[in-house]
Structure 1
């Protein structure tokens, strides 16, 4: 029962998929982040299904790219994209750390957030329009949605938090950090094995991109904000998904899928 409640809580928090309502307590949130990659599995499965449909029925590139860009946002309810926008706004302000943290909390959409969101979606649309619709490429990108969430959850339980309050700090305090970190790291390594098994060179390129973005996320969070927040974790997730898509396309063109 606790396992089902934990999974339901993760989907309630990180997706727009309707879930049963129940009271949140320590038992529910203790391992909530362990269930976070499952949301990525659903997103990856939905994207994979759409790409298969496009290949099966010869759907045009414009519609393929538009829906592939939209599906993750629809399933997650835009929670991570919201964090991306807030972070872009804060970084663009070049303000002191405390003011940047205030910008993250501001519910209003700033000009830089709007510009950043439009550019992100436009570039993502462009990349999807170049995506090689093959079983290997689809499998690689589907695993990427799981791997990115494993790393995002791992950061919450291992990185320093910028504040003692807020979403990331609350989940970090409630989580069984050692067990959650071990579980999420195991999920990431299983994803890494899957990528390398599908195609070693392209899988390695994807993993290098993911790790590079993960380190960039930590460095930027610490230097600009004094630690991570829930918005920054969402910002990382969007960058990771974009980086995976970029790596699958261009590494695939360089070495091929044979």
Structure 2
């Protein structure tokens, strides 16, 4: 299990990890630890908010750190998927061509434009809240987005017979992954609602709507999910939760 944890953190974060063998056995439960990466990111997120309060830093600088820290901790892997997906969707090409664009290492104009849009909206949303409970909701949101993504990986069909996401899906113990993801999902949503019934509930609902969009869009446009589409979902869900909290934080 330790090897599975190391593989999960090595793949989906830039946190220092020891080297382990990437065997099918070691990858079997790797996705089970995916939400724990969100928990670590959430802890760093809250630590930064606390530090800003202690140093008396302004809300804009606090928000800038809240935007940047998750991207740095994850190594930008999910934002990369978001950009590739936006490029593919904006091409209005055939399904086969869209899948090719996902694999293309070049960055298109739409990826740059919508990455900028994402960053501006997230920065604006994170400048708004003042209550610590609001930031607690957002910290748990990093767990929820990854629990939903892992749940999708275990239960939705893949668009390709190969690729990083498919490799994890093929190696995973799907019933175990599903059970663990559901536990993380319930705990994170319960924590969000406990911290703030209005903001937490609205943020959880926003993430759920993103999950429904993710499934519908992936099946219609690509014939299934891929690693890039999973990254697109994580970024979209986290932005949606940030906007939901920004709009409702006064009801905390």
TM-score by length of 1: 0.95
Equivalent residue for 2:99, pick from 101, 106, 116 = 101
Deviation at 1:130, TM superposition (A): 1.4
Name the SS for the 1:131 alignment partner: coil
Q: Deviations over 1:61-110 (max 9, x none)?
A: 22112111110111011000000000000000000000000000000111
Q: Is residue 67 from structure 1 mapped to residue 65 from structure 2 by the alignment?
A: yes
Measured in 2, the distance between the counterparts of 1:198 and 1:65 equals 20
In structure 1, stretches of 5+ residues that fail to align are none
Partner of 1:131: 129
Residue matched to 1:195: 192
* Superposed CA RMSD: 1.0
Q: Which residue of 1 aligns with 2:141?
A: 144
> What displacement does 1:160 show?
1.0
CA distance in 2: counterparts of 1:18 and 1:196, whole angstroms: 32
1:218 maps onto 2:215 in alignment: yes
Greater Cα offset, 95-104 or 48-57: 48-57
State the match for 2:18 in structure 1: 20
Deviation string, structure 1 residues 97-144 (Cα, Å, up to 9, x no partner): 000000000001111111111111111111112122x33112111111
**SS in structure 2 at match of 1:162:** coil
Greater displacement, 181-190 / 61-70:
61-70
Tell me how far apart the structure 1 counterparts of residues 198 and 126 of structure 2 sit (CA, whole Å): 21
Runs of 4+ residues deviating >4 angstroms: none
The equivalences for 1:30-45 within 5 A come to 30-45=28-43
Could you tell me which of 54, 59, 62 is aligned with 1:56? 54
Q: Offset of 1:13 from its aligned partner?
A: 0.2
Query: Whole-Å Cα distance in 1 between the matches of residues 101 and 129 of structure 2?
Result: 35
2:111 is aligned to 113
CA distance in structure 2 between the aligned counterparts of 1:152 and 1:112, rounded to whole angstroms: 24
Q: CA deviation at 1:57?
A: 2.1
TM-score normalized by the length of structure 2 = 0.97
Q: Name the count of aligned residue pairs.
A: 252
Gaps of 5+ in 2: none
